[in-house]
Amino acid sequence: MSIATKRGDKGETGLAGGIRVSKSSTRVEAYGTVDELNTVLGFARSICTNEEIAEWTQHIQKTLFRLGSALATPPESRKGAPTFTQEDVDYLTDHVHKIEAIEGILADWSLPGAHTESAAYEIARTVCRRAERCAVRLKESGEEVRDEVLAYLNRLSDLLWLFGRLIEHNAGINARLRDDSKAGPKWSRAW
């Protein structure tokens, strides 16, 4: 048995349940971007020296396999989609609140690249935002996408941004975009 089945040589792939679609389909783009996110998170975790963040990242990676599978399973599939619930979203929200409570974490916009580990989480954050956009496009195309999947990706990008800030904070690095003399909002939840 080989993973090189040659079934995809003409630009089609199989979804969960055996349904064949074009590799350019919105559904494949959505779960493929989640797969890319999982890989980028694996790199971030591999260089992360903060054991707690690395442990949280591994938990998130395992959850992303379920999320990707939920996106890869169309409603007409004979295989049911995996369960994805509000509890998955709440796990992330709890960690967001825990990190936000640390004094100085939300001081300003950050300039990516001040620290290698935080930069890896910034890359993951931007891939996460792209995965979220892909999932939204899938839903807007009329396909079924659970609200919890969209909420999870939205919350995850917030958490990944905070991972970067926490890593910089713990390393004593100031990656603030502006100094105190600049007016305007110090940070934005838009990240």
Q: Which domain covers residue 60, as residue numbers?
A: 21-71+83-171
The whole-number pLDDT of residue 182 equals 55
What is the CA angle 153-62-83, rounded to 5? 70
Average pLDDT over residues 123-128: 98
In this structure, is residue 39 part of a structural domain? yes
> Is 57 part of a structural domain of the chain?
yes
Say whether pLDDT at 69 is over 70: yes
What tens digit of pLDDT does each residue of 138-160 get?
999 999 899 999 999 999 999 99
57-61, 79-83, 108-112: range with lowest mean pLDDT = 108-112
| pLDDT value at residue 186 | 54
pLDDT in tens, 82-112: 788 999 999 999 999 999 999 878 766 676 7
Number of domains in the chain: 1
Q: Is the pLDDT of residue 47 over 90?
A: yes
Chain-centroid distance, C-alpha 147: 15
pLDDT of residue 191: 45
Is residue 189 situated within a structural domain? no
- 76 pLDDT more than 80: no
**42 within some domain:** yes
Is 101 within a domain?
yes
Asked whether residue 181 is domain-assigned, the answer is: no
Q: Output phi, psi for 39, to 5 deg.
A: -70, -45
In a domain, 77, yes or no: no
Burial class (CB in 10 A: 0-12, 13-18, 19+), 183: exposed
Residue 58: give its domain's CATH number.
1.20.1200.10
pLDDT digits (tens, 9 = 90+) for 15-39: 666 666 655 578 888 989 999 999 9
pTM of the model: 0.84
For residue 190, being part of any structural domain is answered with no
